[in-house]
Structure 1
Amino acid sequence: MVTGDFCLCIVGTFIRGLETTATYVPTNQEFVLNSPTITSMKYWPGGLGKTSNCCLVMAQLITQGEKRGIHLFFVQIRDIETHQPMPGVESGDIGTKFGFGSNDNGYLKLTNARIPRENMLMRYSKVLEDGTYVPPKNQRIGYGTMVFVRAHIVTNSARGLAKACVIAIRYSAVRRQTEVSPGGMEAQILDYQTQQYKLLPLLASAFAMYFTGRYAEDYYEEIASEIEEGKLDSLNQLHAVCAGLKAFVTWVCTAGIETCRLCCGGHGYSHASGLPKLYVFYTPGCTYEGENNVMMLQVARFLMKLYPDIKRNVPIHKFVDYLGADLTLKSCMTAEVAIGCLLKAYEHRAARLLSEAASRVESLVRSGKSHQEAWNASTVVLTWAAKAYCHAFVFRTFSQIVTDAAVDKNTKDVLTALCKLYAVHGILENLGEFIQDGFFSPKQVSLLKNKLADLLAEIRPNAVALVDAFDYPDKVLDSCLGRYDGQVYQALYDYAKSSPLNQQEVLDSYHKYIKPAQLGQSTRHEQPMARL
């Protein structure tokens, strides 16, 4: 994370085991920071390599001979005037990466680097001049910023998928291929159902995930005053939800951008499309701010912790209140494919998968395994349960926002169709998890398949208008294929002409490299003939 000459150094998933130390020395009223091992070095922060003068370092606080947990420290790493490293600081660039070539990612090694006592961030916990440690009212209060950042990642990832959908759908409305009837005009590729099946559910996902991210951000703002007062019940719920949503949404976003690229054919492979840039920009979201599989297991721990209360029907937070549903009930799905019946399907799936994961862990414990062994032997099914929970949360949020939207009837009808497409597509793509216990009948599955085709046809006339609603200017999209005016081929031609290689003919290179190679190749082909 970089702002000007500042970066944030927080690396690793096992935060409790962070090895970087900050030891307080009362006589000097200073902290001495150390990276005692090769694995304790900071690695990857943007701007750290050669740019930043200052950073926030997360380190294990040690005062009066005791470890006090992880805290943040403001550390000057370079001299403001000379830009030379400060005493005890070693920093450098980490080399080339998959993308972000202009981002100065770096490493940091600290050896007895000294900072004044005031450089510890002491809003919630403090170190007094004599070294006395004053803990926060609640150790989890520091999660607030992390939660908000993850909620923002959800919203931002949705924007990335939205941009890819804008490009691919606009291009699909311009690109024509193969006449539908002999002698007729070539059809827009967006009129082919297979293209619709690839793109329109992604468009629905972009709306669903954007609304969900905004909901999480707004909910955080609502409970901000509670957090300041030390009331963290709502924060604990949102922390778990945002961990899962961050993983769920970044996975969908990354895969979705690649699908959009494939839907644009060969042109999607060119930087002129704007899609490769989107891919390399949003793919790291699967790793930063928490590796996705670890995030899903955080959600699983949260759900498993609540599971005893769920089984006892103890009143619980609205984020999880449906997980105690009666699993013997079957789907209420009819030909209408109502949003309410779709929502019950997602909630049933999440509740059942959680029940099955909990049963597996409990069975392994009864067989003699320790709880940790049982957990480690169940992480796949726990991850399935966590993903199902996140999927249900997204659809639940999307459906509620669409239902409550104060918009005209035509707009609501389009949004409702988009919401249903998101749900129906998600069921059919994960059909095994929805029908394993007979929740859906074969007839109901057929209804859903037919509804999917109907929804694709219903949304198709509004597809371009829906991507236009994101209101991304051409300058932001930076795509020849996604131009608002549809002048794709002129844009591609202009893009090609602007290549530096086309500014002049490379005659010197031709005579120096190409012609000798051609002559050499010709000679090799002629030699066997000469022998004949």
Structure 2
Amino acid sequence: MSTAARWCVGSLAQERSNCRFNKEEITNFFDGGADKTEARRQLEEIVLSDPAFEDPIPPEYLSHEQMYENELRKSIHLLHIFNTDERLAKIAPNGIKGMMYFYDRGLSTAIHKDGNPMSIHFAMFLPAIMGQGNPEQQKEWLDLATAGSIIGTYAQTELGHGTYLRGLETTATYDPVTEEFVINSPTITATKWWPGGLGKTSSYTVVVALLYTEGRCHGPHLFMVQVRDTNTHQSLPGVTLGDIGPRFGFKSNDNGFLRFNQFRIPRGNMFMKHAQVLKDGTYVKPLSSKLSYGSMTYVRVGICFGSTRGLMVAVTIATRYAAVRHQSELVADDPEVKIMEYQTQQFKILPQIATVFAQWFAAHAVRQTYATVQDEIDQGNLNLLPELHAVSCGLKALSSSDSLRGIDILRLGCGGHGFSDSTNLPRIYCTTAAACTYEGENTVLWLQVARYLIKCFRESQRGGRLQKSVSYLEYKQIPAKHDLSNQGLLSAFKCSLQLLVLRAAEQLQRRCDKGEPYEVARNHCSQNLVNCAQLHMRHYVCDQFVPAVEEFKCTEPVRDVLQRLCRLYLINTVISNHGFFIR
């Protein structure tokens, strides 16, 4: 080991020796328990010791085609061992659940450095089958997809429309004579654009298209569509597709485009867990139109964890760098000190550590809400669906944007070295940047949250009951002062939010009273509405963080650290948004 290496190792060892709590408890927390930590470590040992996952040449020195082929090779091998390796079956459920466990915990980034051509197959294609397919459809497609006999993607975004689902132009028109749907791309802007794995890899795709039966449009619905021949891998007649070219990040992926020319699929290829089209063309409505968006909600929850993992890795890199990097002297003629000793460096690092824990606790809360809602949907109860939609939209927007901002702060905190690919920070930044756009552009998601807040405000004015996350709208008396305890800060949050939402609702109503159409008035108030949504979600995260730390089962030294981080997050959030708290 070189002198420089020994120096770095010694500096890290010195910092680690100062730790006053059991690090394994924190590790278990992020893994979901001691048993999950053990399973992850065994999984890593098997996968990372497999020479098939090694890169003969560092990916950054490869062409796009070489990068794609290399990552596809590893993806196929990963799929193979999860379906055949008995050791993996003992660690995690075999097949689909084992693979989804692997991807859900971000372990794939250890072998896929800059994207994975089959990521959408696991992240969206399989969840769509599981969440939107009826039992017969799951029986038909799930085993094939699990074994890799069919590889799929998810085609929703179009060249002309993304987040605005009602604006999608791809059509699926039912023909009762042949009992088929005719899929068509009527305009150039109807071209499906961006689906990962579509350019070269996938033979199937879940297509989101406007459903037409008996001359009526029933809005966006999901369809299973084969787009390539499973023997030749050539596109089928009536299908035009290809790769869209280089991107800001995910450079190993094959994001693609897709067009249909009067392409026919069987009636049974429409996902029919919630809505149905009968043989004669009769449309059977779902209990709620939002039920078809379940797969998107699931993915948004995953994005919350994924974005936070990106920040977690970045803050680990930056903290280790700050522990080994010596720069300048604090006192003349003294040795140069670790940059971790500088308060300015601590201001860059410590709030990001607190943000990781805050977002992680909040993401778990949303995931639990998702599971609860799924159980209630099965019983015909849709009461929590609007709440789930709002918090999943809001936390996706908050976690991706705050993580991106934090990663860049940390990158800058590593000086010139942070600009080097060798730190992995540029790749982490690019990957997280994409999360601010896919599965709902963040500004649009903020407006979705704001729509929910205005609706809840009006419900509170009528004396209706509200869900816990918006219960602050029911405050009758606003305290004049708040102390600086955690509960005092949460109380200040609630009062500030109530006033902010009240003013936005009044502004909106005044414009409507003057004759402006509601959507026009809403656009004129949109920045204030976004402010409401952002502060609402920051309150939501804080409101989850405080009780979660108190209820978390851990030793007192760990609790002390979590309480300090919680306190830091609350105070930093209030200071960063102080304009909303001063009146």
TM-score by length of 2: 0.72
Q: What's the counterpart of residue 430 of structure 1?
A: 577
Shift of 1:229: 2.2
Whether contact under 8 Å (2:222, 2:292) holds in the other structure is no
Q: What's the counterpart of residue 472 of structure 2?
A: 322
Q: What's the counterpart of residue 440 of structure 2?
A: 290
In the alignment, which of 96, 120, 143 is matched to residue 293 of structure 2? Answer: 143
Q: What's the counterpart of residue 154 of structure 1?
A: 304
C-alpha distance in 2 between matches for 1:295 and 1:157 = 16
Q: What's the counterpart of residue 109 of structure 1?
A: 259
Q: What's the counterpart of residue 70 of structure 2?
A: none
Matched ranges for 1:72-91 at <5 A: 72-91=222-241
Q: For each residue in 1:378-433, what CA deviation from the matched residue of structure 2 results, as whole angstroms up to 9, or x when unmatched? A: 00001001100000000100111012122222211111110010011111112111
Q: What's the counterpart of residue 485 of structure 1?
A: none
Letter aligned with residue 238 of structure 1: L
Q: What's the counterpart of residue 559 of structure 2?
A: 412
Whether 1:377 aligns to 2:524 is yes
Q: What's the counterpart of residue 400 of structure 1?
A: 547
C-alpha distance in 2 between matches for 1:71 and 1:287 = 22
Shift of 1:88: 0.4
Shift of 1:219: 1.9
Shift of 1:330: 2.6
- The structure having more radius of gyration, on CA atoms, is 1
In the alignment, which of 156, 163, 168 is matched to residue 10 of structure 1? Answer: 156
Matched ranges for 1:89-238 at <5 A: 89-238=239-388
Query: Aligned-residue CA RMSD in angstroms?
Result: 1.4
Whether contact under 8 Å (2:478, 2:495) holds in the other structure is no
Shift of 1:327: 6.5
How many pairs does the alignment contain? 433
Q: What's the counterpart of residue 487 of structure 2?
A: 340
Letter aligned with residue 177 of structure 2: T
Sequence identity of aligned pairs in percent? 43
What secondary structure does 1:178 align onto? coil
Q: For each residue in 1:22-42, what CA deviation from the matched residue of structure 2 results, as whole angstroms up to 9, or x when unmatched? A: 111122221111000111110
Structure 1 residues 369 and 65: alpha-carbon distance in aligned structure 2, compared to 1, 3 A threshold: closer
Whether contact under 8 Å (1:150, 1:289) holds in the other structure is yes
> Which consecutive residues of structure 2, in runs of 5 or more, have no partner in the other structure?
1-119, 123-147
In the alignment, which of 410, 422, 430 is matched to residue 280 of structure 1? Answer: 430
Shift of 1:122: 1.1
C-alpha distance in 1 between matches for 2:462 and 2:554 = 41
Letter aligned with residue 425 of structure 2: L
Q: For each residue in 1:450-499, what CA deviation from the matched residue of structure 2 results, as whole angstroms up to 9, or x when unmatched? A: xxxxxxxxxxxxxxxxxxxxxxxxxxxxxxxxxxxxxxxxxxxxxxxxxx
Shift of 1:8: 0.6
Whether contact under 8 Å (1:53, 1:79) holds in the other structure is yes
What secondary structure does 1:153 align onto? helix
Structure 1 residues 250 and 367: alpha-carbon distance in aligned structure 2, compared to 1, 3 A threshold: same
C-alpha distance in 2 between matches for 1:343 and 1:382 = 21
Shift of 1:368: 3.0
> Which consecutive residues of structure 1, in runs of 5 or more, have no partner in the other structure?
438-532
Whether 1:29 aligns to 2:179 is yes
C-alpha distance in 2 between matches for 1:313 and 1:64 = 42
Whether 1:304 aligns to 2:421 is no
Letter aligned with residue 9 of structure 1: A
C-alpha distance in 2 between matches for 1:72 and 1:308 = 33
Deviates more, 1:311-320 or 1:203-212: 311-320
Deviates more, 1:348-357 or 1:246-255: 348-357
C-alpha distance in 2 between matches for 1:420 and 1:164 = 22
Structure 1 residues 270 and 327: alpha-carbon distance in aligned structure 2, compared to 1, 3 A threshold: farther
What secondary structure does 2:205 align onto? strand
